Amino acid sequence: MSKELIVAIDGPAASGKGTLAKELADYFQYIYVDTGSMYRALTYKAVMQQIDVNDEAALMDILATTTIELTADGKTLLDCVDVSNEIRENSVSSQVSYVAVHPKVRERLVELQREIASNGGAILDGRDIGTVVLPNADVKIYLTASVEARGQRRQLDNEERGIASTLEEVCANLALRDEIDSTRAIAPLKQADDAILLDSTNLTIPQTYEAAIQIIEGVRQTKNN
């Protein structure tokens, strides 16, 4: 029987990790774990309860009485309620990086992520999957693209979802999040030494997908021989 792999996909905001990871999970019949949605769900609850996102103890209190689940069909459930759309709103996107800096919050969410991936056959996307969450992942891909390319894709995405924004706002928000995510003390956004860099600035979605499939297939064949 073939060994089912653990695949880590890291990269900056709006690099297309989610779209890629979802398609790869479909192709390989693996589970998809969107770790960013866990940080987003917690942020959403904090914003709704008007909790200060800089107050780690208050965030931990929320986590202690909160359930965050990722369903097989890609939905995020917060205390059993589907919040998949709400967690993509600007009110959450603009605050989530502040929530994600807290060590105790990360420790708890990383624990959940490792638990979900423990049986293999999983694709996780985030910022620290290859470096911290699953340093022994079978495949590590670092997916990136220029801020301009990512901004244009995110702006299109927003238009499709009916979220009001301008390209300038979106690019500024991405650049700020890149800065916070990559300079934080704990588990910063960073390419793992053994990750394969995939720069999609000049690639279409199908081209990026093809490149990733080849990377994963290559490792799969090596592992199963």
Binding of ligand DC by 13 (CB under 6 A): yes
Q: Which stretch binds ligand DC (CB under 6 A): 55-63, 93-101, 142-150, 165-173?
A: 93-101
* Candidate segments 53-61, 64-72, 123-131, 158-166, binder of ligand DC by CB under 6 A: 123-131
Q: Which one, of 152, 137, 169, lies nearest residue 10 by Cα?
A: 137
- Separation CA 208–CA 204 (nearest Å): 6
Among 6, 41, 78, 96, binds ligand DC (CB under 6 A): 96
Q: Residue 3 region, left (φ>0) first, then alpha (ψ -120 to 50), else beta?
A: beta
Task: Give the three-class secondary structure for 148.
Answer: helix
What number of other Cβ atoms are within 10 A of residue 111's Cβ? Answer: 10
Q: How many positions of this chain bind ligand DC (CB under 6 A)?
A: 14
Smallest distance from the beta carbon of 190 to ligand DC, in angstroms?
Answer: 11
Cα Rg of the chain, angstroms: 17
The Cα–Cα gap between 51 and 223 comes to 47
Write the interaction track for ligand DC spanning residues 18-47; mark x where CB under 6 A is met and - where it is not: -----------------xx--xx-------
- Among the residue ranges 51-59, 120-128, 164-172, 190-198, the one whose residues contact ligand DC (CB under 6 A): 120-128
If binding is defined by CB under 6 A, does position 141 make contact with ligand DC?
Answer: no
**Residue 197, class by beta-carbon neighbours within 10 Å (0-12 exposed, 13-18 middle, 19+ buried)?**
exposed
Q: Does 83 bind ligand DC (CB under 6 A)?
A: no
Amino acid at residue number 211: A
Report the site for ligand DC in 151-190 (rule: CB under 6 A): 177, 181
Stretch that binds ligand DC, among 68-76, 92-100, 142-150, 209-217 (CB under 6 A): 92-100
The single-letter DSSP state of residue 86 is G
10: tokens are 């890291």
Looking at 53, 83, 100, 192, which residue binds ligand DC (CB under 6 A)? 100
Specify the pairing of strand 81-82 against strand 76-78: antiparallel
Interaction of residue 15 with ligand DC, rule CB under 6 A: no
Can you tell me whether residue 42 is helix, strand or coil? helix
Select the residue interacting with ligand DC from 128, 200, 209, 212 (CB under 6 A): 128
Catalog residues that contact ligand DC under the rule CB under 6 A. 13, 35-36, 39-40, 96-97, 100, 126-129, 177, 181
